[in-house]
């Protein structure tokens, strides 16, 4: 069963992210109290998701113990292959997200974590970007359903 393992936000760009147990997702705005709330260039940048399994894989091959929040994605999932749901919708409680594209790793993250080849290692493993189609509240351990 696919579910949310953690929710991760920060209210200021460049600052460390923090776990929250619950988040309010607002259509056309983003996640309340997150740095990109009403401050994104494209609709598909409203929410980011990454699989805990991909982070665990990275930690295993790198012999590291990076925390899920270190990857700076908003929703950490388990039990779902996010790469396979690009251009599909998912539902978490009453929230509906449209997954638009893969979210490739960036040099900012590589520099912040001080891992020289992070970008290369995370190509196609960096999660996905999504748009909020229907507003609502999500919580840790909520089930994720593919709806389309």
Distance CA 125, CA 58 (A): 9
- Higher pLDDT: 50 or 64? It is 50
pLDDT at 88: 97
Q: Which of 131, 128, 134 is nearest to 95 (CA)?
A: 134
1-26 per-position pLDDT tens digit: 999 999 999 988 778 899 999 999 99
106-138 per-position pLDDT tens digit: 656 656 667 677 667 776 778 999 999 999 999
Would you list the DSSP string of 79-97? S--GGGGTT-EEEETTEEE
pTM of the model as a whole: 0.90
């Amino acid at each position: 069963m696919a579910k949310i393992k953690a929710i991760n936000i920060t209210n200021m760009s460049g600052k460390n992210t923090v776990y929250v147990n619950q988040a309010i997702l607002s259509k056309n705005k983003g996640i309340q109290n997150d740095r990109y709330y009403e401050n994104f260039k494209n609709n598909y940048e409203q929410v980011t998701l990454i699989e805990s399994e991909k982070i665990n894989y990275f930690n295993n091959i790198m012999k590291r113990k990076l925390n899920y929040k270190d990857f700076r994605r908003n929703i950490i999932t388990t039990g779902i292959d996010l790469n396979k749901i690009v251009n599909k919708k998912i539902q978490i409680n009453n929230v509906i997200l449209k997954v638009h594209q893969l979210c490739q790793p960036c040099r900012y993250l590589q520099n912040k974590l001080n891992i020289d080849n992070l970008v290369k290692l995370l190509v196609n493993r960096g999660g996905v970007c999504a748009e909020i189609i229907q507003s609502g509240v999500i919580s840790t351990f909520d089930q994720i359903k593919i709806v389309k």
